C-alpha cells in the first residue's frame, strides 16, 4: 500500500503577519485518497505549520512540536519564538536523516521580532524566506508568487495572491486539488478563513 502524499503549500511573511495556504487533496499513487485532508496545523495561537509529503511522518512531527511549544511556555512563561520552533523541527529531521522523515514543512508565525516564515526539507535544512511553496504543485505556485507578490505587502494585500497561487497549482498539478485552506497569523492570533471568506477572495480576483 502506498503512503498518503501529494500537495501544494504556501507561506508568505507580510509586514503585519503571515499567510499560509494549502490544497486539501491527499493521493496514494494515482488514487485520490482524501479530498479534505488537513495540511495546516496550528502549533499555538501565533505559530502554524504546513505539511507536504508522507502524512504519517508529518503528523508525528506536528504533535512533537505542539507538546514542546506548550512545555516551553510552561517553563519560560512566554511563547516559543518562531525561530526556536522551526529549529526544533529541523533538529528532529536532521536526527532522522539516516532513515529520513519524508516531509517538507513550512513554519510561519509572529513573535516579538515580527513575522517569520521558515522552509524545512527532509534532511533538516532550515531557511527563512519571504515566501515559500512546497509540494508537487510548488513550481506552478512559485510562478504566481514571483509574478504578483510585492515586497512589504500586508496580509490583506498578500491574501488574493496566495489564493491565486494555490488555485493555479490545483488546476495544473494532479496531486493537488479539490479545495484549499487558508490561515492568517497576526498580532491578534491565528485564524482560518471560512468557506464564505474563501469564496469572496476567489470572486474578487
Burial class of residue 148 in the structure, from the number of CB atoms within 10 Å of its CB (0-12 exposed, 13-18 middle, 19+ buried): middle
Give the whole-angstrom CA distance, residue 205 versus residue 193.
16
Q: Phi and psi at residue 99, in whole multiples of 5°?
A: -130, 80
* Residues labelled as active-site residues: 7
Q: Report the SS3 class of residue 106.
A: strand
> Interhelix angle for 82-95 vs 55-76, to 10°?
130
Indicate if the alpha-carbon torsion angle 25, 41, 143, 120 is positive or negative: negative
- Number of Cβ within a 10 Å radius of residue 199: 11
Of all helices (H) and strands (E), which one includes residue 157?
helix 155-172
If one counts every other C-beta atom within 10 angstroms of the C-beta of residue 130, the result is: 15
Amino acid at each position: 500500500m502506498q503512503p498518503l502524499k501529494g500537495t501544494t503549500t504556501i507561506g508568505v511573511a507580510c509586514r503585519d503577519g503571515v499567510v499560509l495556504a494549502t490544497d486539501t487533496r491527499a493521493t496514494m499513487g494515482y488514487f485520490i485518497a482524501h479530498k479534505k485532508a488537513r495540511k495546516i496545523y496550528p502549533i499555538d495561537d501565533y505559530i502554524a505549520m504546513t505539511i507536504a509529503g508522507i502524512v504519517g511522518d508529518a503528523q508525528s512531527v506536528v504533535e512533537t512540536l505542539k507538546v514542546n511549544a506548550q512545555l516551553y511556555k510552561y517553563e519560560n512563561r512566554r511563547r516559543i519564538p518562531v525561530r526556536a520552533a522551526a529549529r526544533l523541527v529541523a533538529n528532529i529531521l536532521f536526527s532522522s536523516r539516516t532513515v529520513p522523515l519524508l516531509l517538507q514543512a513550512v513554519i510561519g508565525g509572529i513573535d516579538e521580532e515580527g513575522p517569520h516564515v521558515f522552509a524545512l526539507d527532509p534532511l533538516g535544512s532550515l531557511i527563512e524566506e519571504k515566501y515559500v511553496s512546497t509540494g508537487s504543485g510548488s513550481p506552478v505556485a512559485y510562478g504566481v508568487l514571483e509574478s504578483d507578490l510585492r515586497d512589504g505587502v500586508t496580509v490583506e494585500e498578500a491574501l488574493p495572491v496566495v489564493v491565486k497561487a494555490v488555485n493555479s497549482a490545483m488546476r495544473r498539478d494532479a496531486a493537488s486539488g479539490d479545495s484549499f485552506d487558508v490561515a492568517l497569523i497576526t498580532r491578534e492570533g491565528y485564524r482560518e478563513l471560512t468557506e464564505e471568506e474563501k469564496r469572496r477572495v476567489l470572486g474578487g480576483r
